[in-house]
Amino acid sequence: MRSRLLALVAVLTLLTTVSASALPGLGSVAGLAPVKCTPEDITVDGRVFPEPRLSATFLTFADFECGIGVLDEVHPGLVDITELDEPSRGGAPVYDIRVTDESVPVSEKRHLLILSSIHGNEHAGREGAARVIEDMVDQRNDQEFIQETLAQFVVHFVFPNPDGWINGDMTHADGGVNFTRANDGSRDLNRNFPVQGYLRASNGTLDQPEGRGLDALLAEFADLEHDSDDPDYRGWYLGTDNHGQGVKPVAASGLQIVGQFDYRKSERLARFADSISDNIEGIALESIEVLNQATGGAVQPYEWGTLYDILGYSAAGSGIDYYNSPATQDGLGVEGTGFATEMTASNLPFSNILTHPGEVNQMWVDTVRAINYAMFKTAVDPLTHTFPVGGRTAYVEDPTPTSSIDSNGFGDGNDDIPANFTGDDPEVDPDFSFTHYTVSRMKFFTDLNRFADNPLDAVRIPDVLSGDVDLSSYDSLVLADEVMPEGNDLAGWVTALTGFVEGGGNLVVTDGAAPLLADLFPGIDAGDVTATNRNVGYVDFLDTSEDHLNEGLRGVASQTWDVIPVGFPDNAGAAPNWTVSQDAWDALPGAVTAGTNGSGRTIYGQADLGEGTVTFLGALLPEPTEDYFHPYGLQNYAVTYTGYTLLENMLDHQR
């Protein structure tokens, strides 16, 4: 499949190096324009931005400026051409094209963000965005969800990397002959943002004008005072970030970002991803089938998962991560809800304006249409999401947070500012100081209770040991990341937990609480339980479809928590994943291993103890760490949509 798709790209590239005047139906008609630069100009299909399969080349930056100018002239009440505060490193304007029905006051609206081609060599985003803008304002487009979007939202189409675009136009005096990933400062703009959590100093935080401009735009419309479902909320709502990847046998790969996402936000993104799949099949399927017929291939419409599940890495400092950042106690953050997508074959070497594969580009554009239309539909008709809890449930509270204002301060990670950190440069922030935080994995449970049909109670160990709390009144009890978060009577605590389980309860043990398994089960030795550092928290699921533990898995399901938001470095093998010997686990009464992590290592499973069960997941909810550089603070948790699904399954228990 890869060779066939590459062959198609090569053939189309060869064809499109021929001048437009030699292509039938394109340049052969006298006066035919590649795009409209005046309303009177004539294009091959009458559109301002013609469909790609009828176009001889990619859109140049100058073409885009022409076409947007025409749309603004023809639809002045719908299109507003604005620029970010600073031009690009190469001196080009960084456009924020705002599309909305201006007859409805902007002050009454929320905001949607569409980032397009922040990597300049990933053409699909900007090619699609230009057509989507035209689709929205064209009076022939009377789809109700488009009209509702225009009435309720301001849609910001931001084109963050004009330098990388112009380089491939071959019109830039200082540029090369190909589109470039970076700007003219040789900086990857999608690593440039001040995210909460671990920060890779070499990324050059906000040292580029494009990043500073986008940061200012997000700050301008951020609403950190209201909940996103509050009728008075006027901040950033949903967003898309459209990229390109190498050749894959899917038209697009959706990337669910991971951070401190409460259940509503996580589920909203998951449902958004599912609706993208439906929309691609409805909008882009024809162009995908044309491509398949031309190649004899079998490109599928869509896949989705986390960034790590799809591409195999995490990335510190990306724009869409920053868009998703929660509010901090210092009043920073954006509070958007954004999703990224990678279009296949839209990140190839040696591409420029002449290497235009028309049918492939049509597939990209139709896919970008589907993605953004899915966002619009989700925005105007939001769903209510409820987390189901199978029985009366409690979690063991850890009363000691991780805080920058305790005796440990900002921790070892911020003791020395790396020499290549740019966030404290006067040009970036003349008043820079570390962002304060007080965080705890316990925030996960208080956030979850806002959406749980049966809210979880917090119980303290001293209250259990004193008899003030009767664990037998609960069906399930969650012990997250620490065996005994307070007190020192370990023997008494183990006795209480053993009694709870043997009496019919379900004890859910996660992360660093795993050593408790050796205290609960005679068949497990202390040496059977270990922590192995991985790049992220994940589960390799086994084929246990008949077992309830793996019910409801969606997308490409493996990652359960991400590293960057809670302070662990990306792609560094620093994420603790707790496992138990699979041989020892499977020998327990009623044991099932639902997932592994390494050969012969159970990371997810369930076993019987007396009348009850112990359910174990060794990678879900670690406490944030201060051991690595985190200048902009930390987030409380970073559970993925798969992590939420597993927790739902683990709590499906009644005595």
Range 70-88 average pLDDT: 97
Residue 31: pLDDT above 60? no
pLDDT in tens, 166-175: 999 987 565 5
603: helix, strand or coil: strand
For 425-456, the pLDDT digits (tens) are: 998 999 999 999 999 999 999 999 999 999 99
- In this prediction, what percent of the chain has a pLDDT beyond 90? 86
- Inform me whether the pLDDT recorded for 200 exceeds 60: yes
d(CA 107, CA 327): 21
Helix (H), strand (E) at residue 601 = strand 601-609
The span from the CA of 472 to the CA of 655, in Å, is: 10
Q: 49-380 belongs to which CATH class?
A: alpha beta
Closest CA to 125 of 59, 217, 29, 216: 59
> Which pLDDT does position 18 carry in this prediction?
33
Least confident range from 51-65, 252-266, 535-549, 559-573: namely 535-549
Report pLDDT for 350. Answer: 83
Q: Among candidates 604, 558, 550, which has minimal Cα distance to 580? A: 604
d(CA 300, CA 281): 10
Residue 32: its pLDDT value, please? 77
- Summarize pLDDT for 129-140 with one digit per residue, the tens: 999 999 999 977
pTM of the model: 0.94
Write out pLDDT tens, residues 508-549. Answer: 999 999 999 999 999 999 999 999 999 999 999 987 555 789
Q: What residue type is 174 in one-letter code?
A: D
Mean pLDDT value across residues 560-584: 97
Average pLDDT over every residue of 575-582: 98
Average pLDDT on 272-283 reads 92
Query: Is residue 8 over pLDDT 80?
Result: no
Task: Report the C-alpha gap between 507 and 479 in whole angstroms.
Answer: 7
pLDDT at 175: 54
Q: What angle in degrees, to the nearest 10, is found between the helix axes of 285-295 and 263-283?
A: 60
* Pairing outcome for strands 402-403 and 438-439: antiparallel
Give CA separation, 440 vs 152, 397, 437, 625, in Å: 36, 10, 10, 10
Rounded to 5 degrees, what are φ and ψ at 99? -120, 120
Torsion of Cα atoms, 434 then 438 then 439 then 440, to 10°: 150
Q: Phi-psi bin for 151: left (phi > 0), alpha (psi -120 to 50), beta?
A: alpha
Q: Report pLDDT digits (tens) over 321-337.
A: 999 999 887 788 999 99
For residue 616, give the 3-state DSSP assignment: strand
pLDDT at 12 (0 to 100): 41
393-415+431-651: which CATH topology? Rossmann fold (3.40.50)
Lowest mean pLDDT among 6-10, 345-349, 423-427, 505-509: 6-10
> Distance (Å, rounded) from C-alpha 478 to C-alpha 82?
50
Per-residue pLDDT at 592 exceeds 70 = yes
Q: 408 or 354: which carries more pLDDT confidence? A: 408
For the chain, which residues make up each domain, given as ranges?
49-380, 393-415+431-651
What percent of the chain stands above pLDDT 70?
94
23 pLDDT tier (thresholds 50, 70, 90): very low
What is the distance between the alpha carbons of residues 575 and 560, in angstroms, rounded to a whole number?
11
**In the predicted model, what is the mean pLDDT of the chain?**
92
- Model pLDDT, residue 172: 59
Judged by average pLDDT, the poorest of 16-20, 181-185, 562-566, 627-631 is 16-20
CA 219 → CA 113, 193, 224, 237, 288, distances in Å?
Answer: 13, 13, 10, 13, 39
